[in-house]
Structure 1
Amino acid sequence: MNRKFQGATFNNKYFTTEALIAYSEKELASGLLPEWELKIYRFLLTFFDDKEYVEQLSSGTTGIPKNFKLSKSAMIQSAQNTIEILGLKPEDNALLCLPIDYIAGKMMVVRALLAGFNLIWEEPSSAPLLQNYDTIDFCAMVPMQVYNSIENREVFKSIGTLIIGGSELRSDVKELIGGLSNTIYETYGMAETCSHIALRKISGHNRDESFKILPGISIFTDERNCLRISASYLENEVVTNDVVELIDDTRFVWKGRYDNLINSGGIKINPEQLEASISKIIGMECAVIGVADKKLGQKVVLFVESVQKLDTNDLELLIKDKLPGFHVPRKIVVVKQLPRNKSFKTDRLKLKELIDRKDI
């Protein structure tokens, strides 16, 4: 790789590039570290090798994961955009609590190499150990990690700047975030775009109603109203399956995934928007999918996450009172835990498998 890095600080220890490579090789050779941490050192060696690209798997949230090549120069430019927009500095402490397998985790490492801030990492989990750190200036999380962390508001407020991505935030959590003084952004992006290409401020004053693209990004829509993305650092245009409403050339509102749309009795229902509405009504995490139905084509099935037993009839009455008739789920299933993939996104494919097993 042509780009020369001066060095980086990881877990409070400064390394020159050469020392970091040697240290990574040493840790991998010893095999004493847990696998999640060894993966970080493998990525560092891959990023510093002579190849111009990094191989990356997509999340596989809506289908079989795809393997593709990401240009290292594109990753660097994306990281530089984030550093400049968020004002990240060498003296900052940043927390890596996401799996390095996915682009979000990899880009935290690349940002640290570029900005020179101190990157501390911990084993990825659904509940980051925020209480273990005096200061966290910058962190990236997925929504489930936020849900499990925000209850301890004093600890959560210690994060200076937080970016959240991967899936939709529950409306009640957004309301809690809105009242915090942290600088918190919801992000939009994917592996193919080297992490986020747009941000939406959701905390404090002057919150954003729509996503605003980063420098060097251009956006369009296709005939499905799905977002198309061009970037100065990407070789090809990225055509997404994300249905959006363009506000202008730099701002858009995300509506949901085109491939998740449910056609029930001729009415097109966006499951992500329906999930947001229902979670606000019932105050619990949930997921909505479409299931084949002879009469309607597809019927709406709601999964509610709860460790306690719930009366589905009570839930149905509560939802019926708040939603249009065609948005009311035809079936409600209570599960102790929604299936999620390694990046903590709801796994809709496994929900469909669960439906097959339950013969819903």
Structure 2
Amino acid sequence: PVSVKNALAIKKINKDINVHILYRDLSMVKDEQIHLQAAKAAGIKFVRFPDDRYPEVTKEDGNLSVNVYDLLLGSEYKLPSDLLVLTVGFTGDETIDAIRGHLKVSTNKEGFFQERHIKLGPLDFPADGVALCGCAKNPKTLKETCEEGIGAAMRASIPMKNGFIEAEGIVADIDLTNCNSCSICWKRCPYGAIKVNENKEPEVIKALCKGCGLCAADCPKECITIVHYSDEQLLAQVEAALEENPEKKILGFVCHWCALGGVDMAGVSRLQYPPNGRLIRVMCSARVPTKLIERAYELGAAGVLVAGCEFPTCHYITGNYACESRIKRARKKLAKKGYNADNLWLTWCSAADGPKFANVMRDMVKELGLG
């Protein structure tokens, strides 16, 4: 990092100068660990502060000082300073929101574009036909940027040569029999994949639809079916999972892209957690309608867990935001019907965070008195 190199430059001028690096997180790539070890050997001190307690700069009698809370030591102290250097972190371009809206792609909290999958699609967007590389994804070295640029060019050459792009089979299908043209579906679709025809009826543009299921879960007339993830198919899984001893089971809906990856990571890491969970895969947490949660309660489930991608990294752009809003409404509805709404849990889990999923399952079992 730039801060470490600057500190080493100061030490090179005068080795007796006391240098402190206050950091929230240090992002090291490849050979940069060498600079970190050199800084420690030169006597440079590193102080890590928490996300919610940033250092405060004060000035007394013309002298500067910094009040900082050391996260590792668990204490706060004051550092008298002759020189303060602010190193600004690398963030995404200010035009990212506009591009995100035009291309219908997702971004992370640092302002960078998010790939389809960190391992299975590192150079692809969820939107087909758009490639991603270099510092548009996250900070990288020049060598990495060039390598990814070549890879992205190769990815782009495939549809250019074929002349077409193959869409996924998981798409929305609208039955207009009971449709009242409420416009909820086309207004909430994160990809703009639903349009209204001259008769004010919604139509799905199959080539744009990604099958997240947000529209189907929000449709008040239940006119929308997600191919391979219909309400009937999901309901059958709910009833099968709770067929025996439902009072001892936790029914979980986990999104395919992140939360399910966390479940798999917990498994391959051999993490131990109670076996009370019965998990149902959905493409996105936004696919879970309130009626499925209510059905689980009716069948006597001890609790219900909905697990999705961490904010703001939803594979379907705004799916987890829609899920969060729906769960809030579902809790109110459950409470009015006399159910314990506290037994409906919501968690956000990345594909690499197996320990978090295992901890959530342990906490649920403990809170529900199943352990």
Asked if Structure 1 and Structure 2 have the same fold, meaning a TM-score greater than 0.5 normalized by the shorter chain, the answer is: no
Under TM normalisation by the shorter chain, which class is it?
under 0.3
Where is the helix percentage greater, Structure 1 or Structure 2? 2
Normalising by structure 2, what TM-score?
Answer: 0.25
Normalising by structure 1, what TM-score?
Answer: 0.26
